[in-house]
Homo-oligomer: A and B are copies of this chain.
Amino acid sequence: MSHLTLEDIAKRAGVSRSTVSRVINNHPSISDSAKERVLEVINVTGYQPNAAARTLASQRSHIIGLVLPHSASALFADPYYPYLLKGITRACNALDFTLAFFLASSREDEEQIFSRIPNRGLLDGVLVQSGHHGHLEIVDRLIETQIPQVVVGRPFFPETVSFVDVDNVAGGKVAVEHLIRLGYRRIGMITGPLQSTAGIDRQNGYLQALEEHNLPFDPALVVEGDFTDPGGYQAMQRLIPQKPEAVFAASDVMAIGAIRAMKEQDLCVPEDIALVGFDDIPLTTLTNFQLTTVHQPVVELGVRAVELLIDLIRNGTEPHRHEILMPELVVRSSCGYCVTKENQL
């Protein structure tokens, strides 16, 4: 178990070190006999090639980075992230890449991280979670480094970089259309932060659904949230006096907060206000009903992000690639159907 080198293996197998290298790297032109002998020795010795030496010689580290900017770290407790990480790590394992994880919890962290990202010989490419105005700078600086990269979430300037995202407009639209189909007309929305593309897009889905069904847009029925539970709670408090029949919350976490606000005023879901969420996170805290929501394929998003990045690393970063995954409505029991007089006529 001491530190064997290629040379040692070559000697024991009676071949040159080039040959050993070739069998390790699955080079096609190797005689079966040579291959067999080398493999035998490798098995017996438990030889592992030195990663740094490989990286230096091949100019490829097989490490990709994941950067979570400062402003994302506030939301890091959101269930979205474990799923994203699951997808990312799964793909990394499958493709034999190592994931370097950069979480910035402060501005200084961000600087620290930034000084390391473009280091030659460390990363082959990088994934950035983004889509928030606060990330503009970090994405820009990353682009400047010329390192292969893909943004997870639609960035504000999508032309300048490759990204993967969920179709948030379609997701918002399908959620609201579901409510419309059930007969609701006075539909409110708790948006995500309008500093983020996800927040903007889901709201646009809401607006499109209203428009296509000739429903009037009432600004008083739209309250901005921030994807957090307390944000949803406060937004719903402001929404209740407006007497919405139904509400679309742009995230499940906000929906939970919204439900709390309703309960405090003895309002029930869906009898008093129907509710649709977004994300489809496992919700164990709901006892009276199951939340109808829009499923985001987050694990898949992580997988695709990695696959795309590796593709860019191998085949060049131009032209930029954009991959959009479709979310899906998951109907459960938080919407009921509309029973207002108006619709019963």
Provide the residues of chain B in CB contact with A167, threshold 8 Å. none
Return 12 A-B CB contacts under 8 Å, by A number: A49-B120, A50-B121, A56-B56, A63-B100, A77-B282, A81-B82, A86-B103, A93-B113, A96-B116, A100-B100, A229-B285, A285-B285
Q: How many copies does the complex hold?
A: 2
A55 nearest CB neighbor, chain B only? B52
Expressed in whole angstroms, the Cα–Cα distance for A58 and B178 within the complex equals 61
Closest 3 CB pairs of A and B: A52-B121, A52-B55, A101-B101
Provide the residues of chain B in CB contact with A98, threshold 8 Å. 100, 102, 116, 122
Q: Kindly list 4 other residue pairs between chains A and B, CB separation below 8 angstroms, not including A52-B120, A55-B55, A66-B101.
A: A77-B79, A93-B104, A93-B112, A96-B112
Provide the residues of chain B in CB contact with A257, threshold 8 Å. 284
Contact between A86 and B101, CB atoms less than 8 A apart: no
- Give the Cβ gap from A62 to chain B, nearest Cβ, in Å: 9
- Give the Cβ gap from A8 to chain B, nearest Cβ, in Å: 13
Which residues in chain A, 41-57, are within 8 Å of chain B measured between CB atoms? 48-56
Provide the residues of chain B in CB contact with A244, threshold 8 Å. none
- Give the Cβ gap from A317 to chain B, nearest Cβ, in Å: 16
Contact between B73 and A77, CB atoms less than 8 A apart: no
A65 nearest CB neighbor, chain B only? B98
A299 nearest CB neighbor, chain B only? B105
Q: A305 near B: Cβ within 8 Å?
A: no
Q: A90 near B: Cβ within 8 Å?
A: yes
Q: Which of B3, B76, B85, B120 contacts A103 (CB 8 A)?
A: B85
Provide the residues of chain B in CB contact with A81, threshold 8 Å. 82
